[in-house]
Amino acid sequence: MEYYKLPELKDSEYKLFAELIYKKSGIFLGDNKHELVRTRFQKRVRQLGLKSFKEYYEYVINDKTGQELVYLLDAISTNHTFFFREKDHFDFFSSKGLPDIIQKKSAVGNKKIRIWCAAASSGEEPYTIVICILESMNTYGWDIKMLATDISTKALAKAIEGRYRANQFKGVSPLIISKYFDREDVAGEKFYKVKPELKSFIVFRRFNLMRPQFPFKGRFDFIFCRNVMIYFDQATQQSLVHKLLNFLEIGGYLFIGHSETLVGSVKNRVRVVGPALFQRIA
């Protein structure tokens, strides 16, 4: 295919994309992400043989299959993470949150634990959670399942594959790595592949947090929704957290990113138990 120089992204075109992205994903780009949008979409515009960003916008909205919208949201999503990111959350989960839920469930003869990792990205976070579970409790006799979701099909594909470069494990002990991952050397580069034991606890699904209604039948004991609300405006954040709390057990725990805060009436439904960490009370 012959390559050609695309025209600059016009303000009117940027506005169209920004409105579409906000409507479909809740991601709020504001007025200063022109270069991000241009660089993320220009390759696709060339691949399709289109001559302008306006043509690409029309291509997306006229695609009846919805697959091009998925591609667009994949392109705009930022997926940067690593194992045990914001480690204090996992320390709390292992030492206080999980023992608390285990005690409460055991007292009533309920040995079911449900977890939702609502912004699973490329899988480092859900696998970290499972490692914490296996390292801190005897899972025999317990029914433990995690739902791990993300809007990005590209990120989820990597999560399901479960193969990671060595630099994703900064600060993780070699013992933990060897226990839960198999080393692979590919073209002279070191990778680590998730062992089946970790995967057995997790169901990966594509999920858009902007759905008006969540389809879950039961509630979760833990919800991790970290480092995704920073892309939303305050109204969207508040609406999302209310929906999350509706599917969190009373006494269950909500983890958000350290750069994120809860706003408005949401605060009345939780108590603060740590930095960016809340327990549902109503």
Going by the DSSP 8-state scheme, the letter that residue 269 receives in this structure is G
Q: Are 176 and 136 spatial neighbours (Cβ–Cβ below 8 Å)? A: no
Q: Are 52 and 16 spatial neighbours (Cβ–Cβ below 8 Å)? A: no
User: Which residue in the list 114, 150, 226, 269 is annotated as catalytic?
Assistant: 150
User: Quick one: tokens of 29?
Assistant: 């780009």
DSSP 27-49: ---TTS-HHHHHHHHHHHHHHTT
269 catalytic? Reply is no
C-alpha 171/C-alpha 14 separation (Å) is: 40
Burial 102-133 (b: 16+ CB within 10 A, else e): beebeeeeeeebbbbbbbbbbbbbbbbbbbbb
User: What kind and span of H or E run contains 19?
Assistant: helix 11-25
Q: Are 145 and 117 spatial neighbours (Cβ–Cβ below 8 Å)? A: no
Closest-CA residue to 124 (of 194, 174, 178, 73):
194
C-alpha 126/C-alpha 118 separation (Å) is: 9
- The overall longest dimension of the chain from CA atoms, in Å, is 68
150 catalytic? Reply is yes
Angle, CA 167 vertex, CA 25 and CA 144 arms, to 5°: 60
Catalytic machinery residues:
40, 150
